[in-house]
């Protein structure tokens, strides 16, 4: 990448030129990519930027609260703040029972775009700003998976322009830019979280119950591992069912896989060497607080051959 300052200057100038006097909507997830995009666009076009956060019902625990606190709730048109849209029923209804990973991504991608089109119409925005980064494009184009903001996009889009200022950058480069833009540390170092959210952390059919279970398990994994190991990414996924005994009952409960990796850019990854005590703590907290879980496993696979997410 060219020097950070040069990149920032150029990106701001380019956004100004591409957008002119039009209004732009951005999907702000609170992750580093979309936050950097929003910060660049704010400097480029000010009040013509409309930031939208969609609660898909597939977000991490407390995410919506955290984002609202970080970015502030906006005016009703989203200018100068954040427009928060609760679309969880819309997403969860559309995904109910869907087991195919690609179909999940397409459903989520499609819903996102439709919501943005709807909001854009209300606010008369014609451009969509996205925090797509280079690895998203390679993996979508290479047929590995369609990232919801790339290959998962529906073909008929009602925006005159899609602007992707980070399209040529890797994650670590985006973090450098975030730091140079003085974004809060919490955002600069925010772990990646996939656009299709927890739907791709339930292997097999999505149900509201499974999403709730994986959300709770994921929160425990993050709470135990982030302060001690600062992994590049860590997560919990539901990978199947296994028999267990809880109290006096046998259950055919969920099997939770715990994954934690170090990586530079997500293209390759190595498992974190977690101490046995910390693994035992995760297992105990998950199985004792989530009644539907019967087992917890730790995933030792590097990438390749295993991807970071399970789907
Ligand atoms: P994989 O699982 O491909 O993940 O090794 C590499 C990085 O990409 C994230 N990821 C996604 N991000 N939409 C996204 O926005 C997706 O569909 C998606 N799938 C994976 C993953 O969390 C990891 O950081």
One digit per residue, the tens of pLDDT, for the chain of length 311 reads 669 999 999 999 999 999 999 999 998 988 999 999 999 999 999 999 999 999 999 999 999 888 888 877 544 444 557 899 999 999 999 999 999 999 999 999 999 989 988 888 898 999 999 999 998 877 776 666 676 665 556 555 778 899 999 999 999 999 999 999 999 998 999 999 998 999 999 999 999 999 999 999 999 999 999 999 999 999 999 999 999 999 899 999 999 999 999 998 899 999 999 999 999 999 999 999 999 999 999 999 999 999 999 99
Q: Is the CB of 301 under 6 A from ligand 1?
A: no
Q: What is the pLDDT of residue 131?
A: 92
Nearest to 51 by CA among 25, 89, 22: 25
Q: State both tokens at 261.
A: 């990796």
Of 242, 307, 304, 230, nearest in space to 272 by CA: 230
Confidence (pLDDT) at 10:
96
Which atom of ligand 1 is nearest to 235's Cα? 22
CA angle 56, 79, 193 (to 5 degrees): 30
Q: Which residue has the tokens 């789907």?
A: 311
Residue closest by Cα to atom 6 of ligand 1: 266
Residue 35, CB half-sphere, CA atoms under 13 Å: how many?
Answer: 27
Residue identifier of the C-alpha nearest atom 12 of ligand 1: 194
Predicted confidence at residue 68, as pLDDT, reads 84
Distance between CA atoms of residues 309 and 174, nearest Å: 21
Indicate if ligand 1 lies below 6 Å from the C-beta of 246. no
CB-CB contact of 126 with 23 (8 Å): yes
- How many Å lie between the centroid of ligand 1 and the Cα of residue 48? 30
* 123/30 Cα distance (integer angstroms): 22
Nearest CA, atom 14, ligand 1: 194
The response to whether residue 197 sits with its C-beta less than 6 Å from ligand 1 reads no
Cα of 1 from ligand 1 centre, angstroms = 22
Cβ–ligand 1 contact at 308 (below 6 Å)? yes
Ligand 1 neighbour 148 (Cβ under 6 A) = yes
The answer, yes or no, to whether any atom of ligand 1 lies below 6 A from the CB of 233, is yes
pLDDT score for 78: 47
Residue nearest to atom 18 of ligand 1 (CA): 194
CA dist., res. 93 & res. 49, Å (int):
30
What distance in angstroms lies between residue 194's CA and the mean position of ligand 1's atoms?
5
Are 293 and 287 in contact by the 8 Å Cβ rule? The answer is: yes
- Whats the size of the chain, residue-wise? 311
Give residue 225's pLDDT: 98
The verdict on the CB of residue 194 being under 6 Å from ligand 1 is yes
**What integer pLDDT is reported at residue 72 of this predicted model?**
72
Atom of ligand 1 nearest to the CA of 309: 2
Which atom of ligand 1 is nearest the CA belonging to 233? 24
Give the C-alpha separation, 245 to 96, whole Å: 28
Distance CA 259, CA 180 (A): 30
* 192 in contact with ligand 1, CB cutoff 6 A: yes
Q: Assess whether the C-beta atom of 204 lies below 6 angstroms from ligand 1.
A: no
């Amino acid at each position: 990448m060219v020097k950070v300052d040069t990149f920032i200057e150029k990106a701001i100038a380019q956004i100004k030129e591409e957008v002119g006097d039009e209004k732009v909507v951005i999907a702000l997830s609170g992750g580093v990519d979309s936050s950097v995009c929003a910060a660049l666009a704010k400097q480029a076009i000010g009040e013509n930027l409309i930031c939208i956060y969609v609660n898909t019902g597939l977000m991490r625990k407390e995410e919506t609260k955290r984002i609202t606190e970080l970015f502030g709730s906006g005016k009703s048109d989203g200018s100068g703040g954040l427009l928060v849209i609760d679309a969880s029923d819309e997403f969860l209804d559309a995904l109910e029972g869907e087991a195919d990973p690609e179909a999940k991504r397409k459903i989520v991608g499609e819903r996102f775009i439709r919501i943005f089109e709807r909001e854009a119409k209300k606010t008369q925005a014609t451009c969509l700003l996205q925090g797509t980064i280079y690895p998203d494009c390679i993996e979508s184009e290479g047929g590995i998976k369609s990232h919801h903001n790339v290959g998962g996009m529906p073909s008929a889009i009602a925006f005159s322009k899609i602007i992707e200022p980070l399209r040529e950058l890797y994650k670590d480069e985006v973090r450098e830019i975030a730091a140079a833009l003085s974004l809060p540390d919490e955002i600069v170092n925010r772990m990646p979280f996939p656009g299709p959210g927890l739907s791709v952390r339930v292997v097999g059919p999505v149900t509201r119950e499974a999403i709730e279970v994986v959300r709770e398990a994921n929160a425990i994994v993050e709470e135990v591992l982030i302060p001690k190991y600062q992994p590049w990414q860590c997560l919990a996924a539901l990978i199947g069912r296994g028999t267990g005994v809880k109290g006096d009952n046998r259950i055919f409960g969920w099997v939770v896989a715990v994954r934690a990796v170090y990586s530079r850019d997500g293209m390759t990854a190595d498992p974190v060497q977690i101490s046995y005590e910390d693994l035992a703590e995760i297992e105990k907290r998950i199985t004792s607080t989530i009644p539907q879980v019967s087992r917890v496993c730790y995933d030792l696979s590097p990438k390749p051959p295993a991807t970071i997410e399970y789907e």
